[in-house]
Amino acid sequence: MDIRIASQIAQTHLLAKKRQTLVAMLGVTFGIAMFITMISFMQGVNQFLEDSALDASPHIRLYNEVNTQRPSLIDQLNPGNFNVVYHQKPKDELARIKNGIAIAERIEKEPGVLGVSPQVATQAFYNNGPIQLSGTISGVDIERENRLYKLNTRLKSGSLRGLQSNPDGLLMGAVLARKLNVRVGDKVTVTTPIGSTRVLRVVGTFGFGVGTVDNTKSYANLSTVQEMLQKDPSYITDVHIKMVDPLQAIPFGQRLRAMYGYYTEDWATANTAILAGEKIRNVMTFVVSMTLLVVAGFGIYNIMNMTVINKIKDIAILKATGFDGRDIIAIFLLQAIFIGFSGGLLGLLIGFGLSYMLSITPFDAGDFLSLKTFPVIFDPKYYVMGILFGVITTVLAGFFPSRKAAQVDPVAILRG
C-alpha cells in the first residue's frame, strides 16, 4: 500500500472528528507539560541541596577522633580473666594532627586535589552584653579557605582583607551576627572551652545559605585561635580538602586514612541524609511523572478505540476494496503518531514556559537558604524523554485498537 494513501485516509479521519482529535492531543500535551515542569523543578531542588552541601562542607575532612573507647590497664595485663574497673577516666588526648601543616602541604601536591586548608576548630561562646550564644570558631589561613569555599562570593558585609590585616579580626556567619546584634566594626567577646577569653572585632559576615553553618560558625586567623587555646603554632585539628572531581573524594579519603592513620570523612558520609532524601525525591518524581504520561496514554487509547468503533463500516469498505490488515494498522498508527508528536511538541513548549515562569518567581527563603527564585534545571534530556515517551505511549495506544480493526470481517459488518 502507498503510504500517501494511508496518510490521506488518516488525515480524513482526524479532520472528521476535530474535537475528538483535539482532546487526544491535549491529553498528551498536558501530560508531557506536567512531566517537564515537575521533573525540572524537583531536579533543580535536588541539585540546589547537593550544591549547598558540597559548597558548605569539604570533600574530605582529615581529623584525629578522640574517644574513650580503649582497653583498661588490667585488661592488657590480665586478658581473658574476670576484671572489675570502676570509674575509669578518659585518657587525656589532644585532637591535634601531628605534623598537620606538613601533611596538608603533601596532600596539596597530590593529583586531583583542588585545595587544602589546615585549621584549628573549637567550640566557643560568643558574648555581646547580655547576649550569649554557643557556636564554633575556626582558625584558618583565609586565602586557603577562600580557595576551597569561595568566601569572597559569600560575603554579606565587610571583606576578607579585614581578617588578613587584623590579628583580632572575626569573620562571622550572617545569622549568628544578627542574633548577637553586631555589625562590621563591633567587638565580640569569645570564650573557649578551656576558659580563655579574647575580644575580637567583626570584620565581615558571610552566608552559605545553610542554617547549621550561618547560625554557628566564625573564622579567625589561625594564629589567633592557637593562642586562644594556648597551643603552639604547629597545632592543627583539621585538614579540609577539596577535589577537582567530588566523586574521587571517597577512594582518596580511604587512601589518606591508610597513609596517615587519621580518620577521614568524605562529603557523601557527612551528607547521608541529604543524599538519601535526593534518592527518595527522584523516585517520587519519576513515579508521578510517568503516571501522568500513562494516564494520558489510556485517554488516547480510549479515543482511538472509539474511533475504531465509529469507523467500523469505513474499515469494512476499505477491506472489501482490497486493503489488508497491515494497511488498516498503518492508517490508525499514523493517526496515533500525529496525535502523539503534535501533542508532544505543544507539551514541550508549555512545559518549558511553566518551568521558566517558575524559575523567575520570587522565593523568600529567609536567612537559611540563599534562594531568590525557585530552583529549576533546564536539561535537554528531560525534553527528549518527554517527547519520546509521549510518542511511544500514543503509538502503543493506537496499535491495539488498530490491530482490533485489522481483524474486522467486512462481510459480517456490511450485512449488518
Rounded to whole angstroms, the Cα distance separating 31 from 346 reads 11
* Residues 216 and 301 both lie in one domain: no
The 10s digit of each residue's pLDDT in 269-287 is 877 777 777 788 778 877 8
Q: For residue 369, tell me if it sits in a domain.
A: yes
Beta-strand relationship, 131-140 and 217-221: parallel
* Residues 176 and 243 both lie in one domain: yes
> Of the candidates 266, 283, 302, which is a domain's last residue?
266
Mean pLDDT of all residues in the chain? 82
* Residues 127 and 258 both lie in one domain: yes
What is the mean pLDDT of the segment spanning 80-96? Answer: 62
Rounded to whole angstroms, the Cα distance separating 257 from 296 reads 53
C-alpha cell recorded at residue 389: 515517551
What is the mean pLDDT of the segment spanning 92-120? Answer: 87
- Provide the residue count of the chain: 416
pLDDT at 80 > cutoff 80: no
* Residues 253 and 345 both lie in one domain: no
pTM of the model: 0.68
Identify the pLDDT of residue 354.
93
pLDDT band of residue 89 (cuts 50, 70, 90) is low
Whether 204 contacts 154, CB under 8 Å: no
Burial group, residue 160, by CB count within 10 angstroms (0-12, 13-18, 19+)? buried
Identify the pLDDT of residue 57.
82
Identify the pLDDT of residue 188.
93
> Of the candidates 231, 266, 301, which is a domain's last residue?
266
Segments forming the whole domain that contains residue 179: 60-68+78-266
* Residues 310 and 200 both lie in one domain: no
> Of the candidates 238, 266, 294, which is a domain's last residue?
266
The 10s digit of each residue's pLDDT in 147-193 is 888 888 888 889 898 888 888 999 999 999 999 999 999 999 999 98
Whether 375 contacts 44, CB under 8 Å: yes
Count of domains forming the chain:
2
Q: Report the C-alpha dihedral over residues 407, 409, 413, 415, rounded to 10 degrees.
A: -170
* Residues 189 and 145 both lie in one domain: yes
* Residues 345 and 280 both lie in one domain: yes
